[in-house]
Structure 1
């Protein structure tokens, strides 16, 4: 399950014209159902990087809709972090929780390029995506794009 940050990072740092093999592999991953994005993450990509959004539409990326199970899980995570109402701190936002909850509910590994916090804030409502994923009550495997590529052991020529 890809976050918008990882897809945008990949698009901006590995241009399709210079890394066609990477993007052919990504397309294969998408077509085989091994790479997806929550609908809210896809909307972020389309807004921030329209060319990437167009490519994702062309290769028919499966956008995972937010359903009741995901909403319930996002609310549980929000409570774990001590976020009350719309009083989000300096950490995750509403869409972030929906994206993490999608990975949790689907049992997917999560790919996010949001910066890891070496020293966690004292207040959980300031936790960024990787810190939320690593909470024992969340436990969603979270890697960045480069880790995802390395673990694939793919060679792009």
Structure 2
């Protein structure tokens, strides 16, 4: 099993729960996971994180090669069209700020990856969130702590 990181999990880990200055070995293990093809980041997530000034974008740029960033290949574009057609409110409710979310899901569907996101399943039906779409289209979705446990990342 391989994993595709959403911005929410990266931000949550970097800024709130596992800042690099206190958990450098965790971030070294994430880098190892990226290098080994176990953990992936979409280029659009990197672009989304560029707007923040917390060091995460810089860390990713230093630790991702061009070939390690997932792009919108043909199958991802096909999956993205399906997601956007089936869930038009997904983008409308999120605006520009969360523009990478449907791309993370489409990439995960196209490449058989597990989405890693801190979003919670919406039960009220008013808002479409990453776990809702993943559940509906058969993509596994976990949070960062579950990633740590599944991959046995050392903290």
Alignment TM-score, normalising by the size of structure 1: 0.82
Select the structure of larger CA radius of gyration: 1
Are 1:111 and 2:116 an aligned pair? yes
The SS at the match of 1:100 is helix
Residue 38 (structure 1) shift: 1.1
Q: State the Cα RMSD in Å.
A: 2.5
Q: Which of 1 and 2 has higher RCO (CA within 8 Å, sep 6+)?
A: 2
Residue 15 (structure 1) shift: 1.3
Cα distance in 1 between the residues matched to 2:61 and 2:153:
24
Which residue does 1:129 correspond to in 2?
Answer: 130
Aligned partner of 2:57 among 42, 53, 56: 53
The SS at the match of 2:92 is coil
Residue 76 (structure 1) shift: 0.7
* Paired residues, number: 148
Structure 2 unmatched runs, 5+: none
Kindly indicate which of the two structures has a greater share of residues assigned to helix. 2
The SS at the match of 2:103 is helix
Cα distance in 1 between the residues matched to 2:118 and 2:91:
24
Are 1:70 and 2:76 an aligned pair? yes
Whether the 8 Å CA contact 1:114–1:128 is kept in 2: the answer is yes
Structure 1 unmatched runs, 5+: none
Are 1:30 and 2:34 an aligned pair? yes
